[in-house]
Amino acid sequence: MYLPGRRKDNFKDGTTDYCKNIPFVLEFGGLTTRAGYAGYETPTIQIPTDYATKGNNEIELLEFYSPKAPENSEISSFLSQGMVNNWEQASNFIEQINKKLMQINPSETPLFLIEQALSTKDVRQKCVEAVFESMNFAALFIHKAPVLSSYVLAKETILLVDSGAYSTYVVPIVEGYVNQKGVIRSDVAGEYLTKSLGNVWKSKVEHESLNRFTNYAKITQSMKNWGANDIIREIKSRNIKLKETRQDIIKFNHAVDTQIFELPDKQKLEILNEMFEVPELLFNPIPEENFMGLQDLIKQSIERVDAENRRELLNNIMVVGGNSMIPNLIERLQREITQLEINTSGRVKIYTTQTINERAHSSWVGGSIVASMSTFDNLLMTKRDYDEHGPILIERKVLF
């Protein structure tokens, strides 16, 4: 579905070939790659960013919840801490998307690439080289994920909390610009919870039960582990919940609260109070691991920005990302932050987006909006710009 009033009129003049110029909006999330056309509400594809490889440069795309896995292949990724560290593989990945899933024609298509809050100049330059040298796109624009999320809420000053798969970011955005000193990243995110649940559940059922692949005997150990996490994630998203306070967890009533999940081999997995205990880790991580709770990340971020902006940020906290889907997370966060002593006065107000789709893909949706505006063409770095000025030109094109 198109974003209302945003698409067709803004692209060329409605001639039959205008479609080929619709910008391609792409985000490599730690877990999910989202790709699709500007002006749409939802990415056309949402596939695992991990892929299968057989030792050469050839890669095979994966699917979530698939009954079969590529055989004799290892799991690999071109990301490190959410940033691309192997552009050759990232280019191969796009080529596969192109061949198998979307049939875009890069040489006639502008690419809108969404980058992470802490992406560096160095990473960006390498990206520009790859986009024009090996992916062969016609033009490029890069924008930061948190700022794009803020466009979805249509607010210029917010404290964005994006808790995804491998990273939780707290990013102060003041009048549309990221306040870089206040940006905080933590590893305590969705896959930290997946791993913790995996440890509990692997001790309750046989290892092979956490498997959905019919060709299990022919796949490598890394593929088996990947498949187990895929199932654990599915069970997690259906069952975990936060309680209003930490103390409420002890009220777990075995007879009433226990959940049963039937695994693909029909074994029954009993889900007990880990469904409340594990999401608690977002607020109270294991002390030996030296992580901060979400409420403390927020406090630290707010206290790093200038005093004059703190009050407004505290009153405009916006939570997005896969973890924002955990039932009661917003209410619990509101309660935890209200109890903190933060070096500013003012009311705490926590928002999320209107729809689940915007919550799960907020930065992609923001990118889709920006790339469909009539002024978007002026922001682009073209192949000709690249040939004339080199990758450094992108620094003059980015808006943050």
Ligand X SMILES: Nc1ncnc2c1ncn2[C@@H]1O[C@H](COP(=O)(O)OP(=O)(O)OP(=O)(O)O)[C@@H](O)[C@H]1O
| Footprint on this chain of ligand X (rule: CB under 6 A) | 29-32, 82, 164-167, 189-191, 194, 233, 236-237, 240, 321-323, 325-326
Report the nearest approach of ligand X to the CB of residue 320 (Å). Answer: 8
- The closest residue (CB) to ligand X is 164
Task: Report the relative pairing of strands 158-163 and 317-320 from DSSP bridges.
Answer: parallel
Q: For ligand X, give the closer residue by CB, 131 or 319.
A: 319
Report the nearest approach of ligand X to the CB of residue 77 (Å). Answer: 11
Q: For ligand X, give the closer residue by CB, 272 or 380.
A: 272
Q: For ligand X, give the closer residue by CB, 90 or 165.
A: 165
Q: For ligand X, give the closer residue by CB, 92 or 196.
A: 196
List, edge to edge, every strand of the sheet that includes 24-28: 45-48, 32-37, 24-28, 110-115, 139-144, 381-382
Report the nearest approach of ligand X to the CB of residue 163 (Å). Answer: 7
Asked if residues 27 and 149 have their Cβ atoms less than 8 Å apart, the reply is no
Q: For ligand X, give the closer residue by CB, 131 or 329.
A: 329
Report the nearest approach of ligand X to the CB of residue 191 (Å). Answer: 5
Task: Return the number of other C-beta atoms located less than 10 Å from residue 238's C-beta.
Answer: 11
SS3 content of the chain, % helix, strand, coil (to 5): 45, 20, 35
Nearest to 213 by CA among 192, 228, 193: 228
> What does the CA dihedral 180, 186, 190, 193 come to, rounded to 10 degrees?
-170
Q: For ligand X, give the closer residue by CB, 106 or 279.
A: 279
Q: For ligand X, give the closer residue by CB, 32 or 309.
A: 32
Asked if residues 153 and 351 have their Cβ atoms less than 8 Å apart, the reply is yes
Task: Report the relative pairing of strands 24-28 and 110-115 from DSSP bridges.
Answer: parallel
Report the nearest approach of ligand X to the CB of residue 14 (Å). Answer: 34
Give the whole-angstrom CA distance, residue 86 versus residue 80: 9
Give the whole-angstrom CA distance, residue 179 versus residue 118: 11
Report the nearest approach of ligand X to the CB of residue 321 (Å). Answer: 4
Report the nearest approach of ligand X to the CB of residue 72 (Å). Answer: 27
